[in-house]
Chains A and B, each alone.
Chain A
Amino acid sequence: MSVPRARLLALMKARCELFSTTFNPEGLRTGNKVLRQRLRGPALAAYYPKKLVTLRDLQEEFAPLELIIDDEIDDDRLEHIAGLKARGKSAPKKKKGPPTNKEKKK
């Protein structure tokens, strides 16, 4: 018992209407699979964690209220740099402006 093609097509059409897919009996390449794909961008862009609140943000936030927060690590760093400076071992000063020809030739 064979089913006529017209009836099969009618079934296909009804199915497409029901499930809101495109009716494409010839099987033409309409590129619909691209439209069906989900967007990957949001998932990919969320790979790296966002920046959280840092001690410095807190310091800036509470500065107008005259509440002082100690950042011990940063204080240690500044102390170390001050020590280096006192011994004349710190990093040289940054140059201002573009280099002149004389400096380039060296």
Chain B
Amino acid sequence: MSMFRAKKLDLGCFVNVKVIRDHSKRKAFEAAEPERQALRYVIRNTTLPQRTRAIAQLQLTQMHCYTRPTQIRNRCLLGGKGRGILRDFKMSRFNFRMQALAGNIPGVKKASW
């Protein structure tokens, strides 16, 4: 969805189309979050008329899929991989191992006892 993509590349990590896509989704979600929360509030408010709540439900489902938080997936900063990402290091498990063994990650040491 090119309308969400930044006109100029603004990423300083490994870049491939999946990373760019995920980044666009994050930006789109950030922009649409207040609206989404407002709709979610209306939907969950039982004191409002049923019709209003139903309309809010429809509006929320009809928002673009890029504005959904569930579309966001953490990806590896070094290789763009989408699976096996260590959240604390934002790296895939293999890249994490390589960096850790090379001593590039402060405070990480291979266990041995």
Q: Assess whether A49 is in contact with B12, with CB atoms less than 8 Å apart.
A: yes
Q: Which of A33, A40, A50 interacts with B33 by CB under 8 Å?
A: A40
A interface secondary structure, majority: loop
**Which residues of B (4-19) have their CB < 8 Å from a CB of A?**
9-13, 19
Q: Which of B13, B47, B69 interacts with A49 by CB under 8 Å?
A: B13
Q: Which of B12, B22, B30 interacts with A50 by CB under 8 Å?
A: B12
Please report the total number of B residues contacting A with Cβ < 8 Å.
29
Least distance between A31 CB and chain B CB atoms (Å): 3
**Which residues of A (33-84) have their CB < 8 Å from a CB of B?**
33-35, 37, 39-42, 44-45, 47-52
21 contacts between A and B (CB under 8 A): A28-B47, A30-B45, A30-B47, A34-B37, A39-B33, A40-B33, A41-B33, A44-B72, A45-B29, A47-B23, A47-B26, A47-B74, A48-B19, A48-B22, A48-B77, A49-B13, A50-B10, A50-B11, A50-B12, A51-B11, A52-B12
